[in-house]
């Protein structure tokens, strides 16, 4: 305990010391992932000093780690009452609303506040794009992703999500271009190859789709959907051997794929072939 002179207000000094003791202990406990104990310390800290920004902010982090997202947001809002110009607190609020509570419009409002305070914040533009994508407002999502890419042009996930948004708009060439930018950054990303294949398939470019499915399968050989959809493309091209090979693999991974193939018009060109009938009659 700090010594004080006879003329000082000792109650204020003790309160100050007590605050720092419990706050610092809370930080140490949080660093050790002892979140319940950390929260108890933060609660004591805000009792002693109700207008301390950091105690409320760190209290929110502890609540978030424990899965109490509404309470975490409430604690962030108390922090923002004290320091409304903290862009990161606005971003953190938006993140929780987006990722944990699916409150997309409220999340966008928080990201907008963050961007008022820091116009070039990559994360706020990126998450804002995600929120608009969840609302199926794909043009707005792309506009936000484009702003994010101006700040960080080598971010895999922004290119990937941008591809998704263009795909939903049925702007397939732009979607493929975005997936290809993502693949320049992560060339072994299975999902980017798979989604590129899906868009090529939607364009009717079955040969290109088959090649892209091949890349996806080389990375994840147990992807039943890649095998099945590659078989569909092969069948549409009347490539019996490749269609049977893909369908065999898909059925081996999930026998229900044989049932789906019996009903799938993509296989109509090979439906009455001996190999196709033999394969499906084994199911």
Of 41-45, 201-205, 243-247, which gets the smallest average pLDDT?
41-45
Of 44-53, 82-91, 215-224, 265-274, which gets the smallest average pLDDT?
44-53
Classify residue 233: in a domain, yes or no: yes
Instruction: Output helix, strand, coil percentages for the chain, rounded to the nearest 5.
Output: 80, 0, 20
Predicted confidence (pLDDT) per residue in 40-65, tens digit: 999 999 899 999 999 999 999 999 99
What's the token pair of residue 236? 């549409």
Classify residue 269: in a domain, yes or no: yes
Predicted confidence (pLDDT) per residue in 226-241, tens digit: 999 999 999 999 999 9
Q: Domain containing 249: what range? A: 222-282
Classify residue 241: in a domain, yes or no: yes
Classify residue 164: in a domain, yes or no: no
CB 56 within 8 A of CB 76: yes
Number of domains into which the chain is organized: 1
- In the chain, the N- to C-terminal Cα span, in Å, equals 79
Backbone phi, psi, residue 5, to 5°: -75, 165
Q: Where are any strands of DSSP class E within the chain?
A: none
- Judge whether residue 111 has pLDDT over 70: yes
Classify residue 265: in a domain, yes or no: yes
Q: Can you give the pTM of this predicted structure? A: 0.89
**How far is CA 108 from each of CA 34, 43, 249, rounded to the nearest angstrom?**
32, 29, 44
Please tell me the distance from the alpha carbon of residue 92 to that of residue 131, in angstroms, as a whole number.
14
Classify residue 163: in a domain, yes or no: no
Q: Any idea how long the chain is?
A: 283
Classify residue 122: in a domain, yes or no: no
- Judge whether residue 25 has pLDDT over 50: yes
Classify residue 52: in a domain, yes or no: no
């Amino acid at each position: 305990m700090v010594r004080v002179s006879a003329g000082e207000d000792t109650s204020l000094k003790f309160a100050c010391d007590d605050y720092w003791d419990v706050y610092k202990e809370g930080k140490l406990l949080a660093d050790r992932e002892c979140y319940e104990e950390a929260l108890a310390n933060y609660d004591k800290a805000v009792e002693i000093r109700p207008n301390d920004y950091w105690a409320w902010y760190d209290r929110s982090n502890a609540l978030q780690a424990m899965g109490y997202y509404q309470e975490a947001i409430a604690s962030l809002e108390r922090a923002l009452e004290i320091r409304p110009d903290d862009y990161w607190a606005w971003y953190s609020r938006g993140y929780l609303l987006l990722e944990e509570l699916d409150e997309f419009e409220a999340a966008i409002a928080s990201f907008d506040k963050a961007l008022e305070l820091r116009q070039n914040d990559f994360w706020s533009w990126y998450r804002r794009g995600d929120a608009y994508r969840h609302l199926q407002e794909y043009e707005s999502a792309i506009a936000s992703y484009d702003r994010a890419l101006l700040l960080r042009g080598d971010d895999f996930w922004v290119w990937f999500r941008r591809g998704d948004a263009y795909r939903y708009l049925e702007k397939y060439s732009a979607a493929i271009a975005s997936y290809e930018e993502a693949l320049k950054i992560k060339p072994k990303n299975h999902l980017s190859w798979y989604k590129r294949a899906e868009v090529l398939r939607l364009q009717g470019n079955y040969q290109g789709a088959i090649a892209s499915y091949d890349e996806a399968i080389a990375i994840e050989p147990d992807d039943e959907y890649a095998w099945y959809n590659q078989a569909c493309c092969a069948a549409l091209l009347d490539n019996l051997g490749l269609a049977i090979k893909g369908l065999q693999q898909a059925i081996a991974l999930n026998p229900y794929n044989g049932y789906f193939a019996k009903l799938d018009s993509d296989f109509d060109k090979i439906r009455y072939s001996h190999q196709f009938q033999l394969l499906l009659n084994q199911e």
